[in-house]
Amino acid sequence: MTKRKLKLISQDPWLEPSAKDIEERYDRFRAKLDFIENDFGSLKHFANAYKYFGINFDKKRKGWTYREWAPEANALFLTGDFNNWAQYSCPLTKNEFGIWEVFLEEKTYGKTFVHGSKIKVLVDSQKGLNFRIPAYITRVIQDDDTKNFSGQLWFPKKFNWKGDTFKAKQSDDLFIYECHVGMAQEKEGVGSYLEFAENILPRIKADGYNAIQMMAIQEHPYYGSFGYHVSNFFAPSSRFGTPEDLKHLIKKAHQMGIAVIIDIVHSHTVKNTVEGINEFDGSDAQYFHAGSRGEHPEWDSKIFDYGKTEVLRFLLSNIKYWMKEFHFDGFRFDGVGSMMYFHHGLETIDNRDKYFNQGVEWDAITYLQLANQLIHSTNPKAISIAEDVSGMPGLTAPVDDGGLGFDFRLGMGVPDFWIKLLKEFKDEEWDIHQMWQVLNDRLPHVKTITYAESHDQALVGDKTLAFRLMDKEMYFHMHKDDPDLIIERGMALHKMIRLFTIALGGQAYMNFMGNEFGHPEWIDFPREGNDWSYKHSRRQWSLVDNPELKYQYLGAFDKAMLKVLNKNQFMSSQFAQQLNMDEQNKTIV
């Protein structure tokens, strides 16, 4: 039990009544870390599971070892192109910890167990015989005809990272460009890592953004899930290209001085049993909570049991894998609010006790503390971002101070506030005192990423700010010589909202790709309901590039805004000082 007063409690008197709860939270973390260090040597070594599980070449034994954790399975057999899919020719053996293993000698399989060949593992369990994809697989591909997914052996030449000495700097003003590789091109189709590196990175750099937050990197079977229903945690999505293509993108971003953040999904996983890890060993509770606790009712997905040692190894190893193998500079953790509570953040938190006692998922909180400890011990300059709207105390405080260890939280209330204003109030009814209050509603020591809108507001069924402001008039009156009051008002408010947000809302800023120039319409991925069309899952860069259209003015404003703020290190300064507030004239100084 900790005997010192934690800094988190000292700096926030409101937390004094919860001092014991916060100390117990820290003690849980210390107990788990002590267990890991005693049994595995260190947290860093514990997170090397990706080098132990899955398929790895053993130089000493001269062959490949495949290991899989499947405690409830009856038998496992590795099969694939290398043995002509002979189902039972490569059986695995099981140890007392539920870990299965098989060794394939290079002299026997060297000519067939080769780069690019397909593999699966046949699992014999209470659910019968089922072909599965290894949990730690690093490459998954989909058959163009059958649409079935398979693991793929991936033994490329070592990627040349020479010269990649870039390190992100949390202390600098952080301007984040939220992006999706597949929909980043203008064509009606799926974009690639290489196209993004060639066509989009130069735009991002020129516009003044110094970080990209990449969505949908982890493999996911359904493109329309926006990458949030992950099936294969260690495999970069093959629909965008190869792992080496992604590494090329990251290296090029670093050469431009752009940090690369991965939108990582550890809050849940897809239910699919063919592509994912659900029911891998035949049980419903291998990686997950048993019964209804292991089901996410809103997302139709499975929830991890963060109390299990092998689940911690899997997820923490996944973090280290992306940092070491791909040089990612940080993580945006999706669904943190869902992870921390058994009610998944769907209940109102209206008193202090609900942060520490009622419905709190302590194992998930301990996992997040371990994750942030690992991230910052692996790379002290790394960036860790939490998606949470609950206001969990200590979310962005260092773990050793009693917090969860994130560097930033997303200011998720700001976009909702702007939408409410636009939907419910006339322009002249906007309350500038309320605007000031909402944008400044955060504690000084809680670093916040502010944004006026993200991908969430751009999805079909919702509207971007530009489309809320100008709607159908954008189809007819965006020529620069076409005067239109609706367009002029919309563009003015679009600029003002973004300036107000970036000036007051936090210590970092985020924008979703295309919104900086008022990209029209919405995002709608190919699906049966739209005849599998890509029309609304792309970015029309030609709109902002066209000197005859007004989109150029919104793009130019965004670029100038970032230039001024970056030059003066505005975001990393303290809260803005209010000099004058004039409600009648709607001015703030």
pLDDT value at residue 312? 99
pLDDT at 170 over 70: no
Q: What is the pLDDT of residues 425-441, one digit of tens each?
A: 999 999 999 999 999 98
Instruction: Tell me the HSE value of 219 on the side-chain side, using a 13 A CA sphere.
Output: 30
Q: Which of 17, 23, 18, 22 is nearest to 3 (CA)?
A: 23
Q: Over the stretch 194-230, which tens digit does the pLDDT of each residue have?
A: 999 999 999 999 999 999 999 999 999 999 999 999 9
Q: What is the pTM of this model?
A: 0.96
Q: Which of 472, 478, 455 has the alpha carbon at shortest distance from 546?
A: 478
Q: What is the pLDDT at residue 2?
A: 65
Average pLDDT of the residues in 541-547: 98
The pLDDT confidence band at residue 152, using thresholds 50, 70 and 90, is very high
Q: Which residue has the higher pLDDT, 582 or 503?
A: 503
Q: Is 455 helix (H, G, I), strand (E, B) or coil?
A: helix
Phi, psi (rounded to 5 degrees) for 519: -50, 130
Mean of the pLDDT values across residues 514-529?
Answer: 95
Predicted confidence (pLDDT) per residue in 100-147, tens digit: 999 999 999 999 999 999 999 999 999 999 999 999 999 999 999 999
Q: Any idea what DSSP says for residue 158?
A: P
Query: Mean of the pLDDT values across residues 271-300?
Result: 96
Whether 389 shows a pLDDT value over 80: the answer reads yes
Q: What CA–CA distance (Å, rounded) separates 162 from 356?
A: 47
Amino acid identity for residue 403 in this structure:
G
- 8 A C-beta contact, residue 457 and residue 415: yes
Rounded to whole angstroms, what are the CA distances from 426 to 148, 420, 439?
A: 52, 11, 20
Q: 116 Cβ partners below 8 Å, 6+ apart?
A: 152, 153, 154
Q: What is the mean pLDDT of residues 323-347?
A: 96
**Alpha helices per DSSP H over 7-53:** 7-10, 19-40, 43-46
CATH topology of domain 49-152: Immunoglobulin-like (2.60.40)
Specify whether the CB–CB gap between 384 and 408 falls below 8 A.
Answer: yes
Q: How many CB atoms lie within 10 A of CB 140?
A: 24
Q: How confident is the model at residue 539 (pLDDT cuts 50, 70, 90)?
A: very high
Helix axes 19-40, 362-378, angle to 10 degrees: 60
What's residue 349's pLDDT?
Answer: 85
What mean pLDDT do residues 77-95 have? 98
The pLDDT mean for the chain works out to: 95
Q: What percentage of the chain carries pLDDT values higher than 90?
A: 88
DSSP 3-state of 82: helix
Contact 451, 464 (CB under 8 A): no
Residue 171 reports pLDDT greater than 70: no
Please give the average per-residue pLDDT across 74-78, as a whole number. 99
Q: Report the pLDDT value the prediction gives residue 572, as an integer from 0 to 100.
A: 75
| pLDDT (0 to 100) of residue 388 | 95
Task: Label residue 251 by pLDDT band (50, 70, 90).
Answer: very high
Q: What is the pLDDT of residues 443-494, one digit of tens each?
A: 888 999 999 999 999 888 788 999 999 999 999 999 999 999 999 999 999 9
Q: Is 67 helix (H, G, I), strand (E, B) or coil?
A: strand
Residue 351 scores a pLDDT above 90: no
Confidence of residue 353 (pLDDT cuts 50, 70, 90): confident
When pLDDT is cut at 50, 70 and 90, the band that residue 175 belongs to is: very high
Of the pLDDT bands very low, low, confident and very high (cuts 50, 70, 90), residue 577 is confident
* Confidence (pLDDT) at 341: 95
Query: SS3 for 545?
Result: helix
Query: E strand or H helix at 556, and its extent?
Result: helix 551-567
- Span 29-58, average pLDDT: 98
Q: Count Cβ atoms below 10 Å from residue 85 Cβ, excluding itself.
A: 14
Share of the chain above pLDDT 70, in %: 99
Question: In this predicted model, what pLDDT tens digit does every residue of 286-317 receive, in sequence order?
Answer: 999 999 999 999 999 999 999 999 999 999 99
Q: How much is the pLDDT for 583?
A: 86
501-533 per-residue burial string, b: 16 or more CB within 10 A, e: under 16: bbbbbbbbbbbbbbbbbbbbbbbbbbeeeeeee
- Any idea what the Cα angle at residue 559 is, between residues 558 and 562, rounded to 5°? 85
Phi then psi for residue 109, to 5 deg, are -115, 5
Domain ranges across the chain:
49-152
For 301, the 3-state DSSP assignment is strand
Instruction: List residues with catalytic annotation.
Output: 334, 387
